[in-house]
Amino acid sequence: MMEDKAYAFWLAANKGEEKCCLATIIQLETEGKYEPLRLCMTESGKIETTIDQTDIIHAIRPILMEKMQAHLGQSEMQEVILKSGDTLQVFVDIYIPKSKIIIFGAGHDAIPVAHFSQKLGFETTVVDARETFNSAENFPNCERIIAHPSSFTEKVPVSPFTYVIIMNHHIEKDRETLQFALQSPSPYVGVLGPRSRREKMLTQLKEDDVIFSGEVLEKMYNPIGLDIGAETPEEIAISILSEIIAIQKGHQGGFLHDQHQIHRHTSKYEEVGKGISYVQGTN
């Protein structure tokens, strides 16, 4: 029996921070033996396979890349048509790394944000240089990073699956944090405070010759959260996290009443993110 290096590569990739797909060709047993033919590919294009026919590899690769680029967290059966006209049934698994939330600022209003974030399944990190505030007592079970903005690049890892919340309640810290976050691969940068605060920070950055494109600024959300009339710290936390879930799943965050379909497959991630491969879901 051949070594299944593709499956071994898949298992290793499931521990990483990069999306990955595994294609398994569904075939009939022959003489009681079944050796699955597989191709595993990461989003960066690394491949391991037990398939030796180049035409099959070339037919499967674009399907996997399209699935990863679409961010759909569902495993599914695909029919692959080869140049010869033959068809193959291929089962495609996808792995999406676990989603994370980083909260910059360890004030009292950050406590319910961190609490609910963990309840929702996000790996949660709190960043603040004040050890008295950024404590295990205030933020149990969270990763806590004691750092000033000048050391964020070295101490605070951010991936494309990391959602950033800025709530330092200090405009200079917020400005430095905003610059770091917008330069990171994070898909969402939420900034607490009124619109005037955003404009003031962006103006200050521009004066320092730090200018962001319109495309980058599209991932900046301010004021932060969905409009649910939130007033208390707990309500504000729910508003913020609801917005993140809506962004994550490709929704607008409106009311469901009068909607003909509750669950739509438009999501970037089908679940808040447990870092696993997913099975086909139904509406």
Overall residue count recorded for the chain in this entry: 283
Four-way CATH pick for 100-248: 3.40.50.720, 3.30.70.1890, 3.10.20.740, 3.90.1150.10: 3.40.50.720
How far, in Å, CA of 19 to CA of 42, rounded? 6
pLDDT band at 281 (very low <50, low <70, confident <90, very high): very low
pTM for the whole structure: 0.77
So what's the pLDDT on residue 72? 58
So what's the pLDDT on residue 152? 97
How far, in Å, CA of 64 to CA of 260, rounded? 31
Quick one: which H or E segment has residue 123? strand 123-127
Structure tokens at 109: 């209003």
Is the confidence at residue 89, as pLDDT, over 70?
Answer: yes
The mean pLDDT of 125-134, rounded to a whole number, is: 97
Is the confidence at residue 84, as pLDDT, over 90?
Answer: no
Closest by CA to 158, choosing from 139, 171, 170, 145, is: 145
Beta bridge partners of 79: 89
For residue 57, what are the contacts with CB-CB under 8 A and spacing of at least 6? 39, 47, 49, 51
How far, in Å, CA of 176 to CA of 50, rounded? 48
pLDDT band at 33 (very low <50, low <70, confident <90, very high): low
Q: Domain locations in the chain?
A: 5-95, 100-248
The mean pLDDT of 39-44, rounded to a whole number, is: 93
User: How many of the other CB atoms lie within 10 Å of CB of 179?
Assistant: 19
How far, in Å, CA of 239 to CA of 221, rounded? 13
Average per-residue pLDDT for the chain: 86
How far, in Å, CA of 21 to CA of 26, rounded? 16
Interval 139-184: pLDDT, tens? 999 999 999 999 999 999 999 999 999 999 999 999 999 999 999 9
Closest by CA to 136, choosing from 116, 111, 155, is: 111
Closest by CA to 143, choosing from 132, 131, 127, 155, is: 127
- Cβ atoms of residues 53 and 86 within 8 Å: no
Write the DSSP symbol of residue 175: H
- As a whole number of Å, the CA-based R_g of the chain is 22
Q: Helices (DSSP H) in 1-53: which residue ranges?
A: 5-13
So what's the pLDDT on residue 168? 95
Structure tokens at 3: 């070594």
The mean pLDDT of 110-129, rounded to a whole number, is: 97
Tell me the torsion sign for CA atoms 188, 191, 196, 199: negative
pLDDT above 90 as % of the chain? 67
Give the strand pairing for 20-26 and 37-42. Answer: antiparallel
pLDDT band at 203 (very low <50, low <70, confident <90, very high): very high
Q: How big, in percent rounded to 5, are the helix, strand and coil portions of the chain?
A: 30, 20, 50
